[in-house]
Amino acid sequence: MPDRPAVLRVALPVPLPRSFDYLPPEGVAVEQVAVGQRLRVPFGQRELCGIVIERGLADQDVELRTALDLPDARPLLSGELLASLRWLSAYLHAPLGEVLATALPAMLRRGEPLPDIASYGWCLNEAGRTAWPAMRAGKPKQLAETLQHLRDEEALDAMCPGWRTPLRRLREHGWVDRIEITPERVAVAPCATAGIVLNDEQAQAIAAIRDRQGYAPTLLDGVTGSGKTEVYLQAIGDCLARGKQALVLVPEIGLTPQALARFRARLGAPVHALHSGLNDGERAAVWLKAAAGQARVIVGTRSAIFVPLPEAGLIVVDEEHDGSYKQFDGIRYHARDFALVRARALDVPIVLGSATPALETLHNARAGKFAHLRLKQRAGDAKPPLVRVQDVRKRPLRAGLSEESLAAIRSALDAGGQVLVFKNRRGYAPVLLCHDCGWSAHCSRCSMQDKPTAMTVHAHGRRLQCHHCGHRKPSPPACPDCGGLALQAQGNGTERIEEDLAARFDDVPVLRIDRGSTGHRDALQRHLDTLGTRPGILVGTQMLAKGHDLPNLTLVVVVGIDEGLFSADFRSGEKLAQLLIQVAGRAGRADKPGTVLLQTHHPEHPLLNTLVTCGYHAFADAELRLREEAGFPPFAHLALLRAEAKQAEPSLRFLQDAKATCMAWNAHAESNPHPNPSLGGREAEIVAIDGPLPAPMPRRAGYVRAQLLLSATSRKALHAALSTLMPALYAHPDARKLRWSLDVDPVDLY
Ligand code: ADP
Ligand code: ZN
Ligand code: ZN
């Protein structure tokens, strides 16, 4: 019998829970290849790039293929990061190859060669220095002024967003040079405090963080404007002084040029940003600079949690409650939760900051797993806003606003302030209705509770759009049912409120900020820049709830929160409370006191009452008690199995089979109970099974969706059951015929 050949075991980005064996490329010995290296291999008719995860001996009787080539001399993934990603794959019950591919920047995932990670900067040359004083005023001249000093490209991204356009002009004249920035050229100044003296609460917080070494999770629980960012900056400064790297995660909306500029100005070390505005090459370069230890401070959104940190010293997660930390498709990881896992593996402190901590996080702090630091006062002289609940029952509303709100807007503007009108629904109006026969416009591809979902009216009534599947069409000129012309846009979206306010307050600018008007983060900043500090009105969705400093904002009017008060999802109360506190926190940030008006038809609602009179923590206490009674997280652990197909039947059959597997697992667990002190010692740890049920939105983009919810008080039991379930699902005859996914710790149950 011939010896079994040595092979490379490779994790490939395919939806199969296994690795694949290959012979090394021609001329390379297995021993020459390290775990964590990229390897390009043939796979069926395709070529794929995977990661070597093991060297081993081939199984008997398998036909082996030879790998194509080894793109890099060294491993891309190694040490702590590779170990943590293996953990993540096991925890999410997701194929390792897909998890590793998710962790790599797209360019590296595709197997492209490593980009050059030298840093470059731009500087005026002799000709430029001579020419710039005489240049016409404008963007190129402004940039030329900035480029009197050598500026690295990352700094330019922060200082002058969109700088590449005026740069082109300067290059055409031959006035600038591109210069490689060597480590000696990078000036690392000591942490500049910019004249800010920390207040007592901040000083205590930073002292407490300094005291903690090794893995030490801390919840920095501070009201909006309490100076949490100052505390992070100090902690990062300490970390840099110890010669270590710091990683800061921020929500997608929070990573503004303003925020980056603040970090850059204060840290005196290069700050590398990672966000969706970068191109593939830029993202890959930052990732590799982190791996090489060249990047000392990395500030990024969700996927930045995957950067290698060979010299890690600190992880910060700002606005840790933010929904954008959860990935909603593919590998459904939660960046905050994975940050905790990495901090533990790296044995470094981690600071989770928020004015409205997630209930899970508060629960962990109360259980003593996290240190809990509070900042109860706003920093400097800023006063907390005055919040008033306004009963609008039976009051006339104009574009959703009461007389009282309109009067408050007028006086805020007259006093020279800015106003934010917050409405969590974009578009012009939620429905298009025929006044003659009652027909309304619906999406043909989506439905909820057996009824097709309404299409939202956009573009001042000219277009219909489905917010669930993105389907768009022009508004019909007449009612398709009765032919009548009495079509009316019902209800109010941000567009209609903007239109109405612009007509009513024609002496001030009215700007609408939502995903429709402001696709890109820089566009949002430009929008706000046009307003400056003049009196004016901003109409927006949650895009405006955080991030940008609006020092002149004195009034916030919140309309249309009532839908959120009665939503069925177990997290909707928490999300609404967080949103209200965050929006309210925008008012009166500087020395101007702010007012918040909450318009509602349900002034007695316990959520509003508790929140407004007693604050977020009282709300959180009440909500946690409800969650405990109902058996929801953080008192239970959930996993949601979703399936969808063009017809209902295959999904339901698939989920039924999944349910049967779980029930068999339960039966086995019941006949072999493990003694579990937390359950009184005798009870078996079983998994509660809910469904299969149609998803809360059972038809989306033409697909019929169903789901099975698994929950358990013990995480161990849930994962043990999933470990039995998942191989059975991959082997299911329909597994390749429908779209299905497992979501461990789902944030939304739809
Ligand atoms: P948070 O992140 O908690 O919302 P920030 O750190 O952004 O708060 O601080 C809010 C504002 O207060 C900022 O303009 C900041 O410069 C200012 N600030 C923070 N700490 C102090 C302090 N100790 N003294 C004076 N101003 C401060
Ligand atoms: Zn009609
Ligand atoms: Zn639709």
Query: With bands split at pLDDT 50, 70 and 90, how would you rate the model's confidence at 622?
Result: very high
Structural domain contains residue 114 = no
Residues with CB under 5 A from ligand 2 (ion): 434, 436-437, 439, 479, 481-482, 484
Ligand 2 centroid vs 440 CA: distance in angstroms?
8
Decide: 30 in ligand 1 pocket, CB within 6 A: no
Residues 346 and 482 in one domain: no
Atom of ligand 1 nearest to the CA of 232: 6
Decide: 114 in ligand 1 pocket, CB within 6 A: no
Ligand 2 centroid vs 489 CA: distance in angstroms?
13
Residues 604 and 652 in one domain: no
Structural domain contains residue 191 = no
Decide: 228 in ligand 1 pocket, CB within 6 A: yes
Residues 137 and 16 in one domain: no
Atom of ligand 1 nearest to the CA of 585: 4
The parent domain of residue 712 ranges over 637-744
Cβ-Cβ contacts under 8 Å for 683 (sequence gap 6 or more): 673, 676
Alpha helices (H) along 73-199: 79-92, 96-103, 106-109, 126-131, 139-146, 153-159, 164-172
Ligand 1 centroid vs 426 CA: distance in angstroms?
31
Q: Which ligand is nearest to the CA of 319?
A: 1
Ligand 2 centroid vs 461 CA: distance in angstroms?
17
Residues 257 and 351 in one domain: yes
- Ligand 1, atom 23: closest residue by C-alpha: 198
- Ligand 1, atom 4: closest residue by C-alpha: 225
Residues 73 and 95 in one domain: yes
Q: At 72, phi and psi to the nearest 5?
A: -120, 160
Model confidence pLDDT, tens digit, residues 643-677: 998 888 888 899 999 999 999 999 888 887 665 55
Which neighbouring-strand residues pair with 124?
176
More confident residue, 281 or 678: 281
Structural domain contains residue 240 = yes
Residues 604 and 513 in one domain: yes
pLDDT at position 293, please? 87
Decide: 361 in ligand 1 pocket, CB within 6 A: no
- The separation between CA 649 and the C-alpha centre of its own chain, rounded to angstroms, equals 34
Model confidence pLDDT, tens digit, residues 524-558: 677 777 778 889 998 877 766 665 667 788 899 98
Q: Which two tokens stand for residue 440?
A: 């309304």
Residues 535 and 499 in one domain: yes
* Range in 267-276, 415-424, 680-689, 730-739 the model is least confident about: 680-689
Residues 13 and 83 in one domain: yes
Nearest in space to 121 (alpha carbons), one of 84, 92, 150: 150
Residues 438 and 521 in one domain: no
Ligand 3 centroid vs 500 CA: distance in angstroms?
28
Task: Report d(CA 334, CA 498) in Å as an integer.
Answer: 35
Which neighbouring-strand residues pair with 247?
298, 315
Do the Cβ atoms of 298 and 286 come closer than 8 Å? Answer: yes
Nearest in space to 173 (alpha carbons), one of 121, 142, 129: 129
Model confidence pLDDT, tens digit, residues 350-375: 999 999 999 999 999 999 999 999 99
Task: Report d(CA 284, CA 105) in Å as an integer.
Answer: 5
Q: How many domains does the chain have?
A: 6
Model confidence pLDDT, tens digit, residues 702-721: 888 889 999 999 999 999 99
Do the Cβ atoms of 257 and 306 come closer than 8 Å? Answer: no
Residue where a domain stops, chosen among 465, 490, 515: 490
Ligand 1 centroid vs 586 CA: distance in angstroms?
13
Q: For a substitution probing ligand 1, which of 199, 223, 229 has the most ligand atoms within 8 Å of its CB?
A: 229
Residue where a domain stops, chosen among 55, 80, 109: 109
Q: Which ligand is nearest to the CA of 485?
A: 2
Cβ-Cβ contacts under 8 Å for 84 (sequence gap 6 or more): 338, 341, 342, 345
Query: With bands split at pLDDT 50, 70 and 90, how would you rate the model's confidence at 589?
Result: low
Residues 171 and 222 in one domain: no
Q: What does 12-32 look like in DSSP terms, one character per residue? A: -SSSSSS-EEEEPPTT--GGG
Q: For a substitution probing ligand 1, which of 230, 354, 375 has the most ligand atoms within 8 Å of its CB?
A: 230
pLDDT at position 189, please? 44
Residue 299 exposed, middle or buried by CB count within 10 Å (0-12, 13-18, 19+): buried
Structural domain contains residue 690 = yes
Structural domain contains residue 192 = no
Residues 262 and 352 in one domain: yes
Residues 609 and 674 in one domain: no
The DSSP H or E segment spanning 264 is: helix 257-267
pLDDT at position 387, please? 86
Per the listing, tokens 């177990």 go with 570
More confident residue, 97 or 630: 97
pTM: 0.85
Structural domain contains residue 520 = yes
Q: Which two tokens stand for residue 522?
A: 């820089």
Nearest in space to 238 (alpha carbons), one of 211, 275, 276, 219: 211
Ligand 2 centroid vs 441 CA: distance in angstroms?
11
Cβ-Cβ contacts under 8 Å for 528 (sequence gap 6 or more): 511, 513, 548, 550
- Across the chain, mean pLDDT equals 86
Question: How large is the average pLDDT for residues 629-653?
Answer: 90
Question: How large is the average pLDDT for residues 684-698?
Answer: 82
Query: With bands split at pLDDT 50, 70 and 90, how would you rate the model's confidence at 195?
Result: low
CATH code assigned at 261: 3.40.50.300
Q: Which ligand is nearest to the CA of 472?
A: 3
Per the listing, tokens 């500090």 go with 533
